[in-house]
Structure 1
Amino acid sequence: MNDVQPSGRSWFRAIGIGLIVSLLTALVMGAVMGLGVSPFPQPPSLAFAETILARSLPLPVGLLFHTVYVTCWCVVFVRFFPQRNIKTALGLAAALWLVILVIFFPVVGWGIAGLGIGPRLIPASLLPHLLFGILLWGLDAYLPRKPADTT
């Protein structure tokens, strides 16, 4: 399987972008939670992991869930989206934000749009998704792409 593509769609590059986006968004969310200004009762990825596995878990398990989820969506964007511009990246981020509000929050017991916890979860969950979209687009647009083999 030839992993190098002229459009920068290699698996290695896509996974690398996903890991970087995952790390940066986790650092920002961790800082916000550490400062005590986050309205989330716990990191959302940890809440999801605990709900799925039906038990209390340490934070690294939540971070693993976060990393896998973010990296998968980054790979989908880099490998398969025909248009990879800021508008498409923010569109993906907005779609994932709506999924969080309508599916994820109710699954973890926070209610539709997190209203079981409070209305502050709506903008608080939008900000990391915007960051996701901007980082995804920026890394995809500006990380070097291996040139196509011309032989």
Structure 2
Amino acid sequence: EINEIAQKHNLVVIEDGAPALGAIHKNKKVGSISTVTGFSFGPDKNMNTGEGGMIATNDVELAEKCRILRKNGAEKRYYHTYIGWNAKMQDPVETRINFPPVHLQPVYRKMFGTKEGMFPIAEEMAGRTLGLPIFLKITSEQQEMITEIITGSVRN
């Protein structure tokens, strides 16, 4: 198992638990298997809260650091021990630059020796293409709202 290998080499395994929220593997709940599991609750996930996420860990030190970081790096009021962040969304529309092209993913670089510049059009499009909300029952009103928010953001 990956966790056994990681332990032998003093490494940490970070899991993406978003697609498996509530799942059980070998009598263990996802989120309790590796050192860290991240769960996303974005609009395109199994559990949607509009924004947000969760980190599950059995590492007490890491859990405390996560608690501090989610409060803008403040351990207590007006006392910042880390540079933190506020990742709340202003508008209810998740938009992101699309994923890097497949040929730039580490596994493909290793397997096929691909590198930056080999597929310039794919690379250019990946940096210029936005992933907009899309789901089965999107209404015309929701599409219009998304269009207005994106158009307003681009103009500003």
Task: Tell me the TM-score normalized by structure 1.
Answer: 0.24
Higher relative contact order (CA 8 A, sep 6+): 1
Q: Which has the higher strand share?
A: 2
